[in-house]
Structure 1
């Protein structure tokens, strides 16, 4: 059964010649074929709902595992469709916390990290151990085989450490292939026992659209910056 909420408006396509009644599945569309006077095909395009979820000890994007062995103190707050904030809670208060998000392995990744005070450079890899300290952006590529036509489906997951109150965040990895988050205030007098929105996580099919969409979401939520396209000319 197809959920009505996942079906976009009907589309007519003349690229198929209909001879027999039947149902065909493809990578992106569900085609329900009938005999038409002009040999046309009525197609229903089914869109896949995006989601970022924590299920047990797994962090998932669109029902696919992104991180494994996620600790119990990691907290996920759903935000918009396909996005969420990830943070953690601790038993003790401190001005600096480093916590594990989970194990990251067998995934192509691109990260931007601060290697000097005012400079960032990219690095590529395939596990959490390839993520350097002071990483400001992490982009993961996920691939899987389609069950119908055996084509390779590619999607992307974006991790953006953000400001959470008086605390800044950054990503890093360790030799155990764990992806970690460093949360710090920079002031020993400013302490906390939780940071629930330390990292923004989003997913999509295009890395370019994903980054652009994520920055628009954060611009609206945080209200501390403006994108170039929305800045008013002085």
Structure 2
């Protein structure tokens, strides 16, 4: 395991390794342990009692956090005609169709955070699945990024919409704000995200659903939250 820096070691002293904290305590601690010289991102990691290898136990969705994430995302819209004009008016950073798809393919171009596509363009965009899939960039109807309502999709992403999905170890990792956010905003964002994940519980999931919940900043230690109280 790599040796941690001095700031991390100092921050770790504030956290009891085997203690499960209440949400308000955890929020205070995550702000205290964010010691870096930049405004660290606060992330929530939720281990779920599901097996993502089975289609009926997948957990995926999106939510607009009450106070956003503190980061403005660059949005690429794949659309034509009126929908392309709608995207430009809504404030999309990049808009295009076949030309943009070719640019991604030939130049390995990834200067954006989210792709929104109209359904009619997904046949062509889908061919880039091997490139976009591993980066989590492939649009998906469940996250609201495959839609004809381009204006709404762009506005929501710009307002702080986050997508949550299982990784290979059945953990959901989501940014819920910045260390500079006040405690009330971080608490409300955390509660909204947990509520969304609970609502997305698959019918096939058995036993304890929220197995563990951990809060951390970009460079800080993990803080365990009492999942039973959520």
* TM-score normalised to structure 2 length: 0.26
More strand by share: 1
| Higher RCO (CA < 8 A, seq sep 6+) | 2
